[in-house]
Structures are given as structure tokens and as C-alpha cells.
Structure 1
């Protein structure tokens, strides 16, 4: 109530919209958000922002699909939802913009569970983990084409010249 009376007095005095400390104009946005403001943000009484968060936030977890490590192959909340969803949900084909032909197509499609990395479907290693062979498959061709389109030799960027040498066709 004191803030309202102070702002009303500033209107009567003709000083409303001017900071009572530095006499600078108070931004219109601040007055729209806080009509009782008689100081600019620099001279406002409340300068500290509390870093204390409500205790409830410690118990809340992010909704499905908003996890720190989205590319993880580990069983996560999204996988759990997909497992439960197979037993049914409230959606029917008529709820969809492009209705599927069967109820099985209504459910969220899971990602490929076969391999963590794309290349694992065609690259082989021996018992000690040493690369031993690459099997020519359609997946391998698609992988190579994708790399060629990007003009790189790996999915994580281009190789440094000293790493590239064993893979190039040029003989020195």
C-alpha cells in the first residue's frame, strides 16, 4: 500500500516516471510491469535475486525426451513409456492427422536397438576389439555416401592430415 501511495504522490508532484534517486527517466517497460516504481532498476530496493529454488524441484525430473544425454543407448524413460504404450493409450487412428492403417502404427516408434553407432552394423572386430573387416552392405554404402556428401571422413568431423594418410589412395 505504501508503494501505491508513493507512486500517487509522484503523479501529484509531476515526478512520476523519473527515478527519485538519480532523476533519470524510468523505462516505459518497467513502469508497465511495475506501475508503482519510483526508482530505476539500478536504485530499486530489491537488488538481489534469490538462488534458493523450491524444494519440489529436487523431486521433479524432466519430461520424456528432455534428458541430458539424449543419444544414450541406455534404457531410459522414453523406452519405458514405449514399453507401456504397447499395451494401449487413449489415441486412436482417428486422432491422427494422417491416420495409420493399423493400431500398431499409432504407437511411438522406437529407435533402432541394434547398434549404438551406425557403423557397427557393417564393421567387424576380433575378440580383442581390433578392427578386422568391413562387410559391404546397403547400410555401409549409405554411410559412405553420407560422409562423401559432407566431404568428411568421419561422423565427428574431418581427420587431421596425419590421421588421414593411411586412408588415402595417394602413394608417396
Structure 2
């Protein structure tokens, strides 16, 4: 790349870096990031409604996401500025071809050419139903669930649960609930009529 274009992109990268640093300072000043003042202003969160605490936590998480996004951009810009100094700016990190100036003008910290970036973008996303490849080799030693071995009398997932549960017993303590047992506190046995009779006339 020509020296004139390198200087142009270096200037553009420095302007973008300055803009992001100003934005981060503004976010700190406006308490968008790094502020726990609302949470720390109370002695206890115990009396607050759970939705209030969730809202405050959501604000903190959103601020952290904003902050991390901007810091990630700064890292990319710093790498691009380092590449300008090393005379490797504008070269794709994968294929080694030159990145078109139009792409760099739009995205000055681009590390990949359009083709390589498209290859990254087209990688198959993992699905929530994808299973680890090891399962193909290992199989399912305890079955996939209660109905997986309907006609098999082997050791299935329910048997494994019962085996583990047997270690959770406390001896000399009755853990089973008995409906006929009386679980009412003595103070709660007082009827309204008894209470009224105790009041002075």
C-alpha cells in the first residue's frame, strides 16, 4: 500500500480510537457502565421486589455489554495501528491477499478480505439439539430417558437415579410425609371463638 494511503488510514484509525475513548468516558460519566450506585445506596436488597433487583441487574449487564463491545473495537484498532507500523496493514490474516481499499475505508480495522470474512460468517452455527461427537462413539450407557429402554430390563436412567438417591438417606429420621400427621403449630390451633372469649368485655 502506498505511503499516502497508509497515512490516510492511520489518521482514520486514530480518529475512530479517539471517538470510542470519548464514548467510554461519557458512558462512565452518565453511569451507563461501571455504576452500582443504585444498588449500593440501600442497606439491604432483601426488602426489594425481585423485579426491581432484576431491572437493576439488567442495567448493569447491558452496561457491561456496551463496555466490552467498545473495548473490543479498541483492541481491533490497536492491532490495525500496529500493522500500519509493521507495514502489514491491509493484508488479510488468512489468505494473505490485499484487502480492497473500499472495504478498509468503510471498516478501517478489517483484518480479513471479503471472501475470508464470508467463509467465517457461513460457518455452521451450533444448534441447541446438536449432541457432542463423543456420543457417537460412547453411545448411551444409561439410555436417553425413562422411555428409551421400554422393553429392556437393563439399568436405565430411573435406576441410576434410585441408586444415587439411596446414598441420600438419613438414618433414624422419617423423611416420608404422612398426611395424617399433625403439622399445625400449637399457637395456630387457637380458634377465633377461643380468641374472642379471651378479650375483655
TM-score, length-normalised on structure 1?
0.26
Of Structure 1 and Structure 2, the greater helix share is in: 2
Q: Which has the higher contact order (CA 8 A, sep 6+)?
A: 2
Of Structure 1 and Structure 2, the greater strand share is in: 1
